[in-house]
Chains A and B, each alone.
Chain A
Amino acid sequence: MLARLAENLFWAGRYTERAEDTARMVDVTYHTQLESPYGEVALAWQQLLDVLHLRSAYGAPIEPVNVMRFLVLDPDNPGSVTASIARARENARSVRELISSEMWEAVNRLHLVLGDRDLEAELTEQPYELFRVVRRLSMTIYGVASETMPRDEGWRFMALGRLLERAEMTCRLIDVRYAQLEAMSGPSQRLAGDTAEVARGPDRTDFHHWIAVLKSASAFEAYRRRYRASMDPADVVEFLLLERDLPRSVLYCLDGARHQLDALRDGRPSRAARQLGRTTASLEFRDVGELFDVGLQPFLEDVQEQIAVTAEQIADEFFHHQPGGALHAIATG
């Protein structure tokens, strides 16, 4: 298939996922901070900008409503929810012939629904409904795509984009929560390694924060079935990172991506597939307790870095990227 179309499908997958996950993260940050003191609130939003690598793009003083506006509806922020949706739609439009009509309609509907709403007012007054709509309609896109599209090359590139993006975003979700909790409770407590006793207590102050994280990954119910009532941060992190059967866990996503990549490379040697294999292996046998000792954040950053490298290698291998740049004309006298 044409490299350009494969790439557009890949990005259609990534941008839809990015829109949904950004909405999830804004949602969880907003709702967990409602009852917190102002200083903590500002810090939480700043940390969210940090993990999304958007702090310098935002540039202004941290004002929660403004950060939220920036992350949700700022057209100049390419990572904002609405901008991601617009770009997902642009990419989907260019491959209109390769995706099902149902999927196209679902993408289009999300775009149009957001266009019809007064987002500004909703963000200030009551953003819950908005986040719910984004989440539901995004999931509709995957739902109809999954039910209506053949598992051909095009599908695989789209799935690959979606899975890599999701793996990265789940890392960030853990990252931002962990950073916030660390800041709240003081670094010593978190890094001391004495997690078992502190963490398992039912009256923990950060209990509801971890529930929120799980909920934002649609993983709370699954977690409860697995771990019952206990709410150990190490368990939560392990669940979100390494649970093979959880569709939003990092390992699940990377495994899925590797599966797609193997089918796409069709027996040919692939640096991207090797890279992805290494990343997956480094996750699989990881002891989360140990991670808490050595520092979770560097590890999460590293995983994200490796995902980024994989994406670059995919672009090299399948999209045949030439270094960017415009076409220039020359003429000598």
Chain B
Amino acid sequence: MSGLLAGYTTDGFFDEVVDADGAIRPHYRALIDRLRGFTPEELERRERVRDALFRTAGITFTVYGDDAGVERTFPMDLLPRVIPAGEWRHVEAGVIQRVTALNRFLEDLYVGEQAAVRDGVVPRWLVHTASGFRREAFGVAVPHAARCLVSGVDLVRDEDGHYVVLEDNLRNPSGISYVLENRAAMTRVLPRAFSEQRVRPVDHYGPMLLRALQEVSPPSAGEHPTAVVLTPGVFNAAYFEHVFLARQMGIELVEGRDLVVEDHVVHMRTTQGLKRVDVIYRRIDDDFLDPVVFRPDSALGVPGLLSAARAGNVTIANAVGNGVADDKAVYAFVPDLIRFYLGEEPILPNVQTYLLWDDEQRAEVLDRLHELVVKPVAESGGYGMLIGPHATEAEVAAMARQVQDDPRGFIAQEVVGLSRHPTLVGDHLGGRHVDLRPFAITGETVEVVPGGLTRVALRKGSLVVNSSQGGGSKDTWVLEEEVDRC
């Protein structure tokens, strides 16, 4: 291989672009040919264009930790990820199936007969000890049972290229703004690459989300429901995205103090007086949503909000209490939930997961800690995780102690080889691990935005793609079905 891919090796991983024989996969050929035509100077010039676009747009996120409040950009690699139509059909069907089952499970758990618990599909005690289980939300129904209005299901591909599910992210998944901004930037940086392929658009996300929000508005809302985006405020890590989404949908971005509940109806304070609000796309965690029933010290929320939702005067999306299904131990039961609620075999499998309260499984895991991944059940974003093969002896020992102290608090998983994707490193391409977060929207039905966010671990060999841990992203192209070919 010449030029860009000179010296490129797949090192035994599944590579998105180069197959096991070193040939370019068919759906990447046009793109790679185009990039081969670029001189290093040309590539550099395009990267500069990209950087300028992102700077102007002010696309940043905040990283929590030592340098609290530092704003960084989430770098987009120049080489997009391409998903052929057939492959996407599989992913899409799998995500829809999974989200459908999870909606059913959550609705049944909070306002139904708790069939999955009653029939022992998920242990009752497991639900009762999940930190995301919200007894306070009991009995609060959601129109169309659309509890996971937005979910961001994290997928990875294993050594054989099979898609498997890592997390479901049913609370407040972020990242969709990068999907849209990446695409907007790509069409400017590599315009001709688009014209050669038929890439499915993503820019209908805003209208799609707004339609779903209107669909789940309570019956009392009338013909033209008012939806708002509720943000914790400018200091939140994802504030940029909240602004972005409100703008995409053309609705108000409000903070808790802008809303007030009167007679179990939510209103926003406008210069013209109070205006009724029917649907709230909230980007505030459950605990801070309503100080009457949750943390009484929360100034971010809206007192009385839950009573308004319960009275059927407002819909809160995503629904309160979805975190129970984000618990990584409950995640382990999602394939069973799919079988139970839908009577179907899961299209997308889970990663092999070990439950550590089980004495046998725990013993085996403790023996093999250095070859497994261990995650706290209630965290997301890669926080508190141990990657056995990359960990020091001390880290492994510390995790072993934590697991023994709190077996319910952790799960272990086999390490997934995570597929790799050529990524621009300096003036050449290097293989870097990637994942995929498609975004599913539930209104009256479940729909998936073509593609989603491809995150890439920019450090060589790293398996951690989280934006908070040094990850980057790629524009993700889903190709149209080639109907007119035959």
Contacts and interface: CB of A to CB of B under 8 A. Distances in A.
Interface string B248-283: 000011110110000000001111011000000000
Contact of B271 (A97, A264, A329): A264
A308 interface: no
Given A94-B234, A97-B243, A327-B303, A6 B271 contact: yes
Contact of B269 (A4, A94, A326): A4
Interface string B285-296: 000000100001
Given A93-B234, A327-B303, A329-B297, A4 B257 contact: yes
A320 B258 contact: no
Nearest to B295: A329
Contacts of B258: 2-4
B299 interface: yes
A1 B297 contact: no
A130 to B, nearest CB: 30
Interface in B178-222: none
A161 B86 CA distance: 59
Given A320-B269, A327-B299, A2 B254 contact: yes
Query: For chain B, what secondary structure do more than half of its interface residues adopt (helix, strand, loop), or is it mixed?
Result: mixed
B118 interface: no
Contact of A2 (B243, B247, B252): B252
A2 B291 contact: no
Q: How large is the interface on B (under 10, 10 to 19, 20 to 34, 35 or more residues)?
A: 20 to 34
Interface string A314-331: 000011100000110101
A153 interface: yes
A30 to B, nearest CB: 37
Contacts of A326: 299
B269 A327 contact: no
B465 to A, nearest CB: 30
A4 B271 CA distance: 8
Interface in A44-101: 93-94, 96-97
Nearest to B257: A4
A331 B271 CA distance: 34
Contact of B291 (A1, A94, A96, A327): A327
Contacts of A153: 271
Q: How large is the interface on A (under 10, 10 to 19, 20 to 34, 35 or more residues)?
A: 10 to 19
Contacts of A2: 252, 254, 258, 268-271
B233 to A, nearest CB: 9
Nearest to B233: A94
Nearest to B252: A2
Interface string A28-50: 00000000000000000000000
Contact of B273 (A4, A97, A264, A320): A320
Given A93-B234, A94-B234, A97-B253, A1 B247 contact: no
A320 B260 CA distance: 12
A329 B291 contact: yes
Interface string B153-183: 0000000000000000000000000000000
Contacts of A93: 234
A256 B227 CA distance: 35
A318 B269 CA distance: 9
Contacts of A327: 291, 299, 303
Contact of B296 (A4, A264, A319, A329): A329
B270 A1 contact: yes
Contacts of A4: 255, 257-258, 269
Contacts of A97: 243, 247, 253
Nearest to A153: B271
Interface string A146-166: 000000010001000000000
Given A97-B247, A329-B291, A329-B296, A3 B270 contact: yes
Interface string A167-202: 000000000000000000000000000000000000
Contacts of A331: 296
Interface in A206-226: none
Contacts of B297: 329
Interface in A1-23: 1-4, 6
Contacts of A319: 269, 271
A234 to B, nearest CB: 41
Nearest to A326: B299
Contacts of A3: 258, 269-271
A242 to B, nearest CB: 31
A127 B234 CA distance: 35
> Considering residues B269, B291, B296, which has the most beta carbons from chain A within 10 angstroms of its beta carbon?
B269
A6 B268 CA distance: 13
A92 to B, nearest CB: 12
Contacts of A157: 271
Contacts of A264: 271
B226 to A, nearest CB: 12
A96 B247 CA distance: 12
Nearest to B243: A97
A326 B243 CA distance: 27
Contacts of B274: 320
A314 to B, nearest CB: 10
Contacts of B257: 4
A329 B303 CA distance: 10
A329 B252 CA distance: 29
Contacts of B303: 327
A181 to B, nearest CB: 43
Given A3-B258, A3-B269, A329-B291, 18 more contacts: A1-B270, A1-B271, A2-B252, A2-B258, A2-B270, A3-B270, A4-B258, A6-B271, A93-B234, A96-B243, A97-B243, A97-B247, A264-B271, A318-B271, A319-B269, A319-B271, A320-B274, A326-B299
12 contacts: A1-B271, A2-B254, A3-B271, A4-B255, A4-B257, A93-B234, A96-B243, A97-B243, A97-B247, A157-B271, A318-B271, A320-B269
8 closest pairs, A vs B, by CB?
Answer: A329-B296, A3-B269, A318-B271, A6-B271, A320-B269, A2-B258, A4-B258, A1-B271
